[in-house]
Structure 1
Amino acid sequence: MAEVTAAVVPAPSASGRVPGRAGGIGIVVEHHWRWYRRNWRATVVSSVLQPLLFLLAFGVGFGALVSGSGRVEVATGGVGYLVWLAPALLAMSAVQSAAFESTYPVLSGFKWQRVYHAMAAGPLSAAQIGLGHLTWIALKMFASGAVYVIVIAVFGGVTGPGVAVSLVAATFTGTAVAALVMAFAATVENEGSAFTGLFRFVVIPMTLFSGTFFPVDRLPAVVRPLAWVSPLWHGTELARSAALGRWQPLAAAGHVAFLLVLLVIGAVLVARQFRRRLTP
């Protein structure tokens, strides 16, 4: 009788990573990709159609009303309102998408669908699960932003190759926001007023008063410091300066440093909170 030899499967390492593969983070990203490629239609409104409506309403509609007065060009530095607004909308859509993707889907992974618990039952660490989801959000924002750049170009809002840097800046900004929001969502047991308050008192004001639709220097002096600590303001400045060819290395370094600090803090908190919640 032929001898049957059982295959030996290597045990996961002490760190929780899966040997012989790209790592636990890549496996989590693969999980989200497999779900998304079958259900991407459900996210079209929030990821593409919503920023498109903002572009049509403010860039094309409102922009046509205010252009020609001479005052707009003074505020925007001599460019049309649509061209000035488009990179800021790119950053804004990334932040809004990041906030949504990092709230209810994260709570669902813990509470409703409990997919995080299923992942943690295998050879994945809690940190890999959290950071893998964060990586997926970043990749999704980049892909949605690339589609949005094409739409902006169709309407005449792209003036040069700097918009590619704007896309990277917008994704970077959204990822920094997503990391912080994910860390917060991992502490939420009942969505109740937690997420409502987040969107009502943080996301919406940040969208309106971070230099997206009008320059921050048009705000009252007492309010401007609140805009300067907004991640979206730093992302908007990066995206807009790249798209308009107004790159200032020192200012750009400051914006990048601010967002990088937020991203690192958020990633550390995500790993910690996921570990706390998934550890029996």
Structure 2
Amino acid sequence: MAPETAYAPGWVHGVGLVLENHLRWYRRNWRATAISSVLQPLLFLLAFGLGFGSLVGSRAAAVTGGAEYLVWLAPALLAMSAVQTGAFEMSYPVLAGFKWRRTYEATTATPIGGGQVALGQLAFVAVKSVLTGAVSLLVIALFGGVRSVGVLGSLVAAVLTGAAVAALVMAFSASRQDEGAAFNALFRFVVLPMTLFSGTFFPIANLPAWVQPLAWVSPLWHGTELARWAAGVGPAGAGAVLGHVAYLLVLLGVGIALSVRLFVRRLGR
């Protein structure tokens, strides 16, 4: 039996090894991503939750179901932060792994395959979203944005949403040979509009009727609705909740399937 076959890790073990590698790197370099992962959501919290929220005051109750604006906004900020983290982590860093740093080629020089590399990368982004989301949740609680333990479910919904977006962006990045203007267009015409028009800061019912269908296809809208439902400040019923979960799981599955296929094709195994 060839040495490579004798010492080849199982599929799940291989994914775990890739995840461990990313976590070891993150343990030493987490400060480099702290601004985008934690400070940016905090700034949104201060600007909109406290600043804008103080302006709307009790008038916001008509659209928040009676909840304070900060409490209504907090679950959406968790989902928004997870989406932004997932989109960024799967853009330039993924292309760097293929083209500039070539860490993926180094990894697949071992018995670990391209599909395991892709899933390990996605698992790392999910774990990172849990860690940074927990810190953000603690900050939100300190500012009075938590009213129920159900907000922990909001964190789960946010991680699911971020993973769904991350998987799709990873597939897109794996198909690129050069970044060109592709990533700028992605953030400018997909991520930014998704942040603004997915019900994060105001209900999509306030949007023009012709814009609302665009919000319905946004993963962030589904994640935001789920996060608010978990926190007890959303009107979603059981059928709507299942619909939101199913939509995000379908996107996650499609993104994973495409990413694994493209990683295997590009890395040769």
The answer for the alignment partner of 2:44 in structure 1 is 54
Determine which structure has the larger helix proportion and give its number. Answer: 2
Q: 2:9 aligns with which of 18, 36, 56?
A: 18
The answer for the alignment partner of 2:97 in structure 1 is 109
Paired with 2:123 and 2:8, the residues of 1 have a C-alpha distance of 16
Which letter maps to 1:249? A
Instruction: Indicate if the aligned counterparts of 1:162 and 1:245 stay in contact, CA closer than 8 A.
Output: no
Paired with 1:22 and 1:197, the residues of 2 have a C-alpha distance of 35
Q: Does 1:229 align with 2:217?
A: yes
Which is further off, 243-252 or 95-104?
A: 243-252
Instruction: Indicate if the aligned counterparts of 1:186 and 1:273 stay in contact, CA closer than 8 A.
Output: yes
Which letter maps to 1:122? T
CA offset at residue 248 of structure 1? 2.0
Paired with 2:82 and 2:222, the residues of 1 have a C-alpha distance of 13
The answer for the alignment partner of 1:142 in structure 2 is 130
CA offset at residue 17 of structure 1? 5.0
Paired with 2:3 and 2:267, the residues of 1 have a C-alpha distance of 24
What secondary structure is seen at the aligned counterpart in 2 of 1:67?
Answer: helix
The answer for the alignment partner of 2:113 in structure 1 is 125
Measured on the aligned residues, the alpha-carbon RMSD in Å equals: 1.7
Specify every segment of 5 or more residues in structure 1 that has no aligned partner in the other structure, as ranges. 1-7
Which is further off, 21-30 or 119-128?
A: 21-30
The answer for the alignment partner of 2:175 in structure 1 is 187
Paired with 1:218 and 1:245, the residues of 2 have a C-alpha distance of 18
Paired with 1:153 and 1:207, the residues of 2 have a C-alpha distance of 22
The answer for the alignment partner of 1:173 in structure 2 is 161
TM-score (ref. length: structure 2): 0.96
Paired with 2:162 and 2:223, the residues of 1 have a C-alpha distance of 8
Instruction: Indicate if the aligned counterparts of 1:84 and 1:244 stay in contact, CA closer than 8 A.
Output: no
Instruction: Indicate if the aligned counterparts of 2:8 and 2:111 stay in contact, CA closer than 8 A.
Output: yes
Q: 1:263 aligns with which of 229, 233, 252?
A: 252
Paired with 2:216 and 2:12, the residues of 1 have a C-alpha distance of 39
What secondary structure is seen at the aligned counterpart in 1 of 2:181?
Answer: helix
The answer for the alignment partner of 1:5 in structure 2 is none
Which letter maps to 1:129? V
Instruction: Indicate if the aligned counterparts of 2:155 and 2:227 stay in contact, CA closer than 8 A.
Output: yes
CA offset at residue 76 of structure 1? 1.0
Paired with 1:218 and 1:208, the residues of 2 have a C-alpha distance of 12
Structure 2 counterparts to residues 148-167 of structure 1, below 5 A: 148-167=136-155
Post-superposition CA distance 1:7-27 (Å, at most 9, x none): x996437xx9515x9611000
Paired with 1:133 and 1:191, the residues of 2 have a C-alpha distance of 19
The answer for the alignment partner of 2:206 in structure 1 is 218
Q: Does 1:250 align with 2:239?
A: yes
Paired with 2:191 and 2:175, the residues of 1 have a C-alpha distance of 18
Which letter maps to 2:149? P
Paired with 1:147 and 1:88, the residues of 2 have a C-alpha distance of 15
Q: Which has the larger radius of gyration?
A: 1
Specify every segment of 5 or more residues in structure 2 that has no aligned partner in the other structure, as ranges. none
Same amino acid, percent of matched pairs? 62
CA offset at residue 249 of structure 1? 1.4
The answer for the alignment partner of 2:65 in structure 1 is 77
Which letter maps to 2:200? T
Paired with 2:2 and 2:134, the residues of 1 have a C-alpha distance of 41
What secondary structure is seen at the aligned counterpart in 2 of 1:210?
Answer: coil
Which is further off, 242-251 or 43-52?
A: 242-251
What secondary structure is seen at the aligned counterpart in 1 of 2:148?
Answer: coil
Instruction: Indicate if the aligned counterparts of 1:24 and 1:124 stay in contact, CA closer than 8 A.
Output: yes
Which letter maps to 1:54? F
Paired with 1:141 and 1:160, the residues of 2 have a C-alpha distance of 21
CA offset at residue 75 of structure 1? 1.1
Equivalences, count: 268
What secondary structure is seen at the aligned counterpart in 2 of 1:12?
Answer: helix
Paired with 2:130 and 2:3, the residues of 1 have a C-alpha distance of 35
